[in-house]
Amino acid sequence: MTKTKIIEWLNKSASLLAERSELASLEARVILCHVLDKSREWLVTHPDFELDNLQIDQANQMIGRILIGEPLPYLVGKQAFFGLDFKVTPDVLIPRPETELLIEECITWLEEHPTKRKLADIGTGSGSIAITLADRFEDLQVTAIDISEKALNVARQNAELIKNKTQIEFIQNDLLENCSDRFDVIAANLPYIPSEKLKSLAVSRHEPILALDGGIDGLDLIKRLLQQSRNNLKPGGMIILEIEEGQSESVQNLVDKLLPGVEKSILIDLANHPRILKIMV
């Protein structure tokens, strides 16, 4: 029976992944942790542990799937986000670092407004925004909305794993359509990629189109949510939305048209791209 040491497999696999990923070494370690059901710390302290043929085959199959474009989080079934591990399936968008800027801004605002504790997360997907903020603020009441029941099932599972689910109400709905409730914060990472552009992006081959396609200009759902929010945001509240980097000007023009007189700003992400639209009412 052929055996390979952990360090040998990691070096070989990182080389294979290097052509398509800047995080090749990390991805190789994540795969092996998943196959062995061990922590990254364990891998570091056991570089000479010998993998058997079954373990090598399982790990190599995952490498092959990554090389043809499958996202690693779907292969291992989870994704780290803001210090928490979220279950992910092809029914939900994979949480990304860009969205952490939205989380940070919500945390700052909620800390500065201790009496405002009612938040809506529109298009919740895996529940990453809703659950992360509920985990941070135990008195925060969160309504997590998604049009996809499959996505809501994933979000509910994440809530059970990470946070007491009684703090979060999950609702299947089309944005805020026919919603009579009012919120201090309306947060959303809605589909914002223009339809034509989406066709050329690799993300469209594996992640749910429903969570990506924002219509002709990418602003279809954002426009609808801004219209609806006029009836659902409390005075003194905040709307905070993730946007595509090329939408800064167009989305601000949309705000001026739909919510004239409000205070608005665009926040820049770590890659120096316009990423977050923040509206203060």
220 and 258 in a single domain? The answer is yes
Tens digits of pLDDT across the chain (281 residues): 567 999 999 999 999 999 888 899 999 999 999 999 999 999 999 999 999 999 999 999 999 999 999 999 999 999 999 999 999 999 999 999 999 999 999 999 999 999 999 999 999 999 999 999 999 999 999 999 999 999 999 999 999 999 766 899 999 999 999 999 999 999 999 999 999 999 999 999 999 999 999 999 999 999 999 999 999 999 999 999 999 999 999 999 999 999 999 999 999 999 999 999 999 99
137 and 230 in a single domain? The answer is yes
Domain count, the chain: 2
**183: domain CATH number?**
3.40.50.150
Residue showing tokens 């952490």:
100
130 occurs within a structural domain: yes
> What is the domain range of residue 181?
79-280
Residue among 198, 190, 173, 188 nearest 239 (CA): 188
42 and 122 in a single domain? The answer is no
Cross-strand bridge partners of residue 186: 120, 239
73 occurs within a structural domain: no
Check residue 132 and give left, alpha or beta (phi > 0: left; psi -120 to 50: alpha). alpha
For residue 46, give the DSSP letter. -
Q: Which amino acid does the sequence have at 13? A: S
Q: Which amino acid does the sequence have at 98? A: E
32 and 154 in a single domain? The answer is no
25 and 161 in a single domain? The answer is no
Cross-strand bridge partners of residue 118: 141
74 occurs within a structural domain: no
| Number of C-beta neighbours around residue 59 at 10 A | 21
Residue among 45, 47, 43 nearest 29 (CA): 43
> pTM of the prediction?
0.93
Domain boundary among 68, 89, 112: 68
